[in-house]
Amino acid sequence: MDFNFLMPVKVISGEGCVLKSAKLLRSLGRRCLIMTSRSAAKTSGALDDLISTLEEAKINYTIFSEISPNPLLSQCQAAAYAAQLCRSQFIIGVGGGSVMDAAKAAAWLANNNCSAGEKLMKGELRHGPLPLVLIGTTAGTGSEVTPAAVLTMDKTGQKRSITHHNCFADIAFADPRYTYTVNRDHTVSAALDAFSHAVEGWFAPACGDLPTAFGEKALPLILEGLEWMSENDGLPEKEMRDKLYYGSLWAGMVLNATGTAFPHPLGYILTEEYSVPHGMACAVFLPALLERAEKYCKDRAERLYSLCGGRDRVFAILGRLVSHNVRMGSEQIESYKPRWEGVKNFERTPGGFTAEDAAGVFRSLFLD
Amino acid sequence: MDFNFLMPVKVISGEGCVLKSAKLLRSLGRRCLIMTSRSAAKTSGALDDLISTLEEAKINYTIFSEISPNPLLSQCQAAAYAAQLCRSQFIIGVGGGSVMDAAKAAAWLANNNCSAGEKLMKGELRHGPLPLVLIGTTAGTGSEVTPAAVLTMDKTGQKRSITHHNCFADIAFADPRYTYTVNRDHTVSAALDAFSHAVEGWFAPACGDLPTAFGEKALPLILEGLEWMSENDGLPEKEMRDKLYYGSLWAGMVLNATGTAFPHPLGYILTEEYSVPHGMACAVFLPALLERAEKYCKDRAERLYSLCGGRDRVFAILGRLVSHNVRMGSEQIESYKPRWEGVKNFERTPGGFTAEDAAGVFRSLFLD
């Protein structure tokens, strides 16, 4: 038994939670920078709610809406610079994982030298971050409750993640209504991302009593929505989307405590080079992870299947939802091996995992 | 569904966790004040572990060992003054709920005017607290993971509680070995306290999805130990005591989110005037709470009983363990009524609860 824990974010959930929080936001300062992507913050209704609240609270705001999916480090640096120019006292990220992760980076850079991107990625910035508020709009990332941020490096085009306690938000608003306008493809991929967090974390060495309890909540909630989408076109009813959103937060609580296993770093390559959306890219590798877990972590695997209504159900749902057109030659697969040396996520994989193991998984899935 | 949450304490658990944390403690400063009671910190082994670690980390320390059970506000003020005199950069409380609660108060006072006790109790001190580390030695209070502190007022002898985010520790060490030296009576009372937290919180309006999940963990763990003690003399084996300790932390996570219902404030009177230990004093009122919950919160009551192995089991265990010799006349009972006006805990009671309801419970239990 154990009781290790750290998740310092104040999470405020429920319909209209942003609109009720003028006073709380005012306690963070009088000027803020809002970071969003081009459209999701607007179409979800989150930005309108936020602006009403900021106006009620007499907080001046500037909107930086240039954050793209798989955000570049340079976008975060630009946002941090904008925050400095506007003398923003705090930053609010409104969007999915890309925006929230970028906001984490920008909030930390904005209180330091904005161009110190490499120091940021190493967690070596001198000063702490500006206060950070997150408003999630997708049921996937769980970034609201984790200290992780995944950014794309401008020079290499590769995704890199940073996990640091300075990347926790101060406040996260969780209003599931903001996820209702997400389209089907994004909803599926986001739900697969959340499911990957819960499954990968479940088998990590750090998955003690608390993350296990969180996983027990996350898995059935997310799988119910995934099953519906695997059997129907379109999108599920609101109640099921609420479950997907709250399930993604429970999964984020797992992720926060455990980190991810090999599907996440392997998935980055599919996203970078084949434009497979992040959640889908991770889920491609879940069957391989589960088969490995059955071998090296039998009890935990059985417990997971029992929470998920059985092994067959899990594999059937993944089989219907997960697809890709990735094909590659053996030389290309070999070329990834140096990148896979010393990846921390591999250590969190049942039975351990090497660059050669990763190449083997790639060959079995993608070899021409 | 919901996902409201705030529990910012970094909890580090397991055998020897203090001994491994020299670097972490050093990050808080070079000088600290240790607060303890007369003996528990020493006999539990916690103080020895802490001192070894502080010496390894080259942190200077002063020990203030004057904290009594049901600590007086003046003791906290004296400790805060000692911290100021020693220029302590942080405070470490080593003990049960009394010491941890006193350390919360002292850490906040030490960064303000030490004599401002009334402002402390109102949460109106100007500056935030010194960093605070807690090392628990009893399986009951859960104070490690809550922002609550209960202190006894010097003038009136009455217990008052403060709940404020500035009363969260920064770090809590949870090593169940420190609970092994607690004697049987204290172990029973502490476990009853933890059980009260889980039960009272379970029926509170704020018991949303997260505290419910915590309660689902807490209740069976604590009840197993209580059942053993209700059927045997002496103390259970280490494994069961570990469960009691971790169960008390899960219950603390419930309490943190929900607050307590009427048993806690009613219990204060039994402690103040009849020297009934705190946990026992709360548990005296649990049957009345449960009966009320069956009436006003039927579904939740049934779910609780199902987690606890049935209603009969709960009432049988409480029946065997809970005892008191409190008798009083009806005038005395009437005299408490003014104190029971506007008590927040009453609002958290299923069906609501008034001063007259409280008097009724007192009459049914204690009338000569």
Contacts of A10 in chain B (CB under 8 A): 5-6, 8
- For residues A73 and A151, the answer to whether their CB atoms sit within 8 Å is yes
Residue B53 has, within 13 A of its CA and on its CB side, a CA count of: 23
- Measure the CA angle with vertex A212, ends A270 and A252; round to 5°: 45
Q: What is the DSSP string of A60-115?
A: EEEEE--PPSS-BHHHHHHHHHHHHHTT-SEEEEEESHHHHHHHHHHHHHHTS-TT
Instruction: Give B31's pLDDT tier (boundaries 50, 70, 90).
Output: very high
Q: How far apart are CA A34 and CA A27, in angstroms?
A: 16
Cβ-defined contact of A10 to B11 (cutoff 8 Å): no
Amino acid identity, residue A53?
A: T
Q: Is A209 on the interface with B (CB under 8 A)?
A: yes
How far apart are the C-alpha atoms of B56 and B63, rounded to whole Å? 17
CA distance A321 to chain B (A): 26
A291 CB-near residues (< 8 Å, 6+ apart): none
Residue with tokens 């209700």: B230
Q: Give the residue ranges of chain A where pLDDT is below 50.
A: none
Per the listing, tokens 């003996």 go with B39
A241 touches chain B (CB under 8 A): no
| Facing A213 at nearest CB: one of B4, B13, B217 | B217
Distance CA A243, CA B338 (A): 45
Pick from A12, A13, A217: CB nearest B213:
A217
Question: Out of B11, B12, B243, whose CB is closest to A1?
Answer: B243
Residue of B3, B4, B239 to mutate, interface with A, max A Cβ within 10 Å = B3
Convert the pLDDT of each residue in A46-61 to its tens digit. Answer: 999 999 999 999 999 9
A11 and B4 in contact by Cβ < 8 A? yes
The pLDDT of residue B122 is 97
Report residue B210 as tokens: 């997260």
Distance of CA A171 to the CA centre of its chain: 17
Tell me whether A364 touches chain B (CB under 8 Å).
Answer: no
B242 touches chain A (CB under 8 A): yes
User: What is the C-alpha to C-alpha distance for residues A69 and A352, in angstroms, rounded to an integer?
Assistant: 31
The Cβ of residue A39 has, within 10 Å, a number of other Cβ atoms equal to 12
Q: What number is the average pLDDT over the span B117-146?
A: 98
Interface contact B7-A7, CB threshold 8 A: yes
Q: Does B13 touch chain A (CB under 8 A)?
A: yes
Taking CB atoms and an 8 Å limit, are B11 and A3 in contact across chains? yes
Instruction: State residue A198's pLDDT score.
Output: 98
Angle made by CA atoms A84, A87, A88, in degrees to the nearest 5: 90
Q: Could you say which of A4, A174, A216 has the minimum Cβ distance to residue B12?
A: A4
* Pair of tokens at residue A45: 């209704």
A249 Cβ under 8 Å from any chain B Cβ? yes
**Tokens standing for residue B180:** 């092994």
Which residue reads 């992040």 in tokens? A278
Question: Is A3's CB within 8 Å of B9's CB?
Answer: no
Q: Are A150 and A160 in contact (CB under 8 A)?
A: yes
- Alpha-carbon distance A79 to nearest alpha carbon in chain B (angstroms): 28
According to DSSP, the β-strands at B148-152 and B159-163 are antiparallel
pLDDT at B284: 98
Return the half-sphere exposure (C-beta side, CA atoms, 13 A cut-off) of residue B73: 21
Please state, in angstroms and as integers, the Cα–Cα distance from residue B229 to each residue in A201, B223, B233, following that order.
37, 10, 6
Q: Enumerate the residues of chain B whose CB falls inside 8 A of the CB of residue A217.
A: 209, 213
Verify whether the Cβ–Cβ distance A8 to B8 is below 8 Å: yes
Average pLDDT over residues B275-303: 98
Residue A243 sits at the chain B interface (C-beta within 8 Å): yes
pLDDT score recorded for residue B238 = 97
Q: Is A348:A297 a contact under the CB 8 Å cutoff? A: no
Nearest CA in chain A to B171: A6
DSSP secondary structure code for residue B103 in this structure: H
> Is A1–B174 a contact, with Cβ atoms under 8 angstroms apart?
no
- Do A96 and A136 form a contact (C-beta atoms < 8 A)? yes
CA distance B239 to chain A (A): 9
Q: Which two tokens stand for residue B178?
A: 């420190």
Decide: B89 and B30 in contact? Cβ < 8 Å: yes
According to the model, what pLDDT value does residue A290 have?
98
Residue pairs spanning A and B at CB distance below 8 A: 66
**Four-residue CA torsion sign, A18, A21, A22, A28:** negative
Write phi, then psi, for A333 (nearest 5 degrees): -60, -45
Predicted local distance difference test score (pLDDT) of residue A97: 97
Q: What is the mean pLDDT of residues B147-157?
A: 97
Whole-number pLDDT of residue A34: 98
ipTM of the complex as predicted:
0.94
- A166 reaches B (C-beta below 8 A): no
Cβ distance of A9 and B5 shorter than 8 Å: yes
Angle of helix B209-231 versus helix B311-321 axis, rounded to 10:
50
Q: Is B177 on the interface with A (CB under 8 A)?
A: no
DSSP A307-327: HTT-HHHHHHHHHHH------
Q: Confirm or reject contact between A3 and chain B (CB < 8 A).
A: yes
The Cα-based distances of A360 to A288, A332, A339 in angstroms read 11, 13, 15
Asked if A27 has any chain B CB less than 8 Å from its own CB, the reply is no
CB distance A143 to A252 below 8 Å: yes
- Please provide residue B148's backbone torsions phi and psi, each rounded to the nearest 5 degrees: -105, 145
pTM of the model: 0.96
Other beta carbons less than 10 A from residue A211's beta carbon: 25
Query: Cβ of B209 and A246 within 8 Å?
Result: yes
Asked if residue A330 lies in contact with residue A359, where contact means CB atoms within 8 angstroms, the answer is no
Confidence of residue B163 (pLDDT cuts 50, 70, 90): very high
Task: Give me the pLDDT at residue A40, please.
Answer: 92
Phi, psi at residue B196, to the nearest 5°? -60, -40
Distances (CA, A) of A366 to A264, A284, A326, A353, B94: 17, 11, 6, 19, 57
The CA distance from A206 to the nearest CA of chain B, in Å, is 12
The pLDDT value recorded for residue A64 is 98
- How far does chain A reach from its first CA to its final CA, in angstroms? 47
Pairwise CB contact (< 8 Å): A1 & B246? yes
**Among A3, A5, A174, whose Cβ lies nearest the Cβ of B3?**
A174
Report how far apart the first and last C-alpha atoms of chain B are (Å, whole number): 47
Distances (CA, A) of A69 to A37, A150, A276: 8, 11, 12
**Closest chain B residue to the Cα of A244, Cα to Cα:** B1
Contact between A283 and A226 (Cβ < 8 Å): no
Task: Answer yes or no: are the C-beta atoms of A324 and A270 closer than 8 Å.
Answer: yes
| Closest residue of chain A to B216, computed from CA coordinates | A213
**DSSP per-residue codes, B221-270:** HHHHHHHHHHHSSS---HHHHHHHHHHHHHHHHHHHHH---THHHHHHHH
Query: What integer pLDDT is reported at residue B242 of this predicted model?
Result: 98
How is residue A261 annotated by DSSP? -
- The domains found in chain B, sorted by start residue, are 10-179 (3.40.50.1970), 184-366 (1.20.1090.10)
CB contact under 8 A, A14 and B2: yes
Per-residue pLDDT at B87 = 98
> What is the Cα–Cα distance from B96 to B187, expressed in whole angstroms?
11
B214 vs A: CB within 8 A: yes
Mean pLDDT, residues B176-182 taken together: 98
**Residue A8 DSSP SS3:** strand
Q: Where are the alpha helices (DSSP H) in chain A?
A: 22-26, 40-43, 46-56, 73-85, 97-110, 117-121, 184-202, 209-231, 238-258, 263-274, 278-283, 286-296, 298-307, 311-321, 330-335, 344-347, 355-366
Half-sphere exposure of B107 (CA within 13 A, CB side): 30
